[in-house]
Structure 1
Amino acid sequence: MHSPDILYYLETIGIIAFALSGMIAARKANMDPVGIFTIAFVTALGGGTLRDVILDNHPVYWIRHEEMPILILVMAILFTCCRPISRLRESNIVLPDAIGLGIFSMLGAQFTLNLGYSWFIASLLGVITGTFGGALRDTLCSEVPFIFRKDQIYASISFAGCWLYFVCRWATENNTLALAIGLLFIVAARLLAVHFDIRLQRDANPHG
Structure 2
Amino acid sequence: MENLLLIFDAVGIFVFAISGALAAVRSGMDLFGIMALSLMPAIGGGTLRDLVLDQPVFWVEGTTPIYIAFAAAGLTFFFSRHLAGKRLTWLTWADAIGLALFCVVGAEKALDVTGSMLIATMMGVVTGAAGGIIRDIICNEIPLVMKKGEIYATATFLGAGSFCLLIHFDVPGPMALWLAMGAAFLARAGGILKGWTLPEALH
Name the TM-score, length of structure 1 as normaliser. Answer: 0.90
Give the conservation status (yes or no) of the 8 Å contact 1:80–1:86. no
Q: Kindly tell me: are residues 85 and 8 of structure 1, through their superposed partners in 2, closer, same or farther at Cα, counting changes over 3 Å?
A: farther
Counterpart of 1:29 in structure 2 is: 27
Worse-superposed segment, 27-36 or 89-98 = 89-98
Out of 129, 132, 136, the position equivalent to 2:130 is 132
CA drift at 1:146: 0.9
Give the conservation status (yes or no) of the 8 Å contact 2:152–2:188. yes
Counterpart of 1:52 in structure 2 is: 50
Out of 179, 182, 190, the position equivalent to 2:180 is 182
Out of 119, 122, 126, the position equivalent to 1:121 is 119
Provide structure 1 residue ranges, at least 5 long, that are not aligned to the other structure.
none
Give the conservation status (yes or no) of the 8 Å contact 1:22–1:137. yes
Counterpart of 2:73 in structure 1 is: 76
Letter in 2 for 1:64: E
**Percent of pairs identical after alignment?**
31
The root-mean-square deviation of aligned C-alpha atoms, in Å, is 2.0
Counterpart of 2:193 in structure 1 is: 195
Provide structure 2 residue ranges, at least 5 long, that are not aligned to the other structure.
none
Higher Cα Rg, which structure: 1
Out of 17, 20, 30, the position equivalent to 1:19 is 17
Measure the CA separation in 2 of the matches of 1:83 and 1:100. Answer: 19
Measure the CA separation in 2 of the matches of 1:38 and 1:148. Answer: 23
Counterpart of 2:148 in structure 1 is: 150
CA displacement 1:125-153 (0-9 Å, x = unmatched): 11000000000010001111111111311
Letter in 2 for 1:187: F
Give the conservation status (yes or no) of the 8 Å contact 1:24–1:86. no
Give the conservation status (yes or no) of the 8 Å contact 1:94–1:191. no
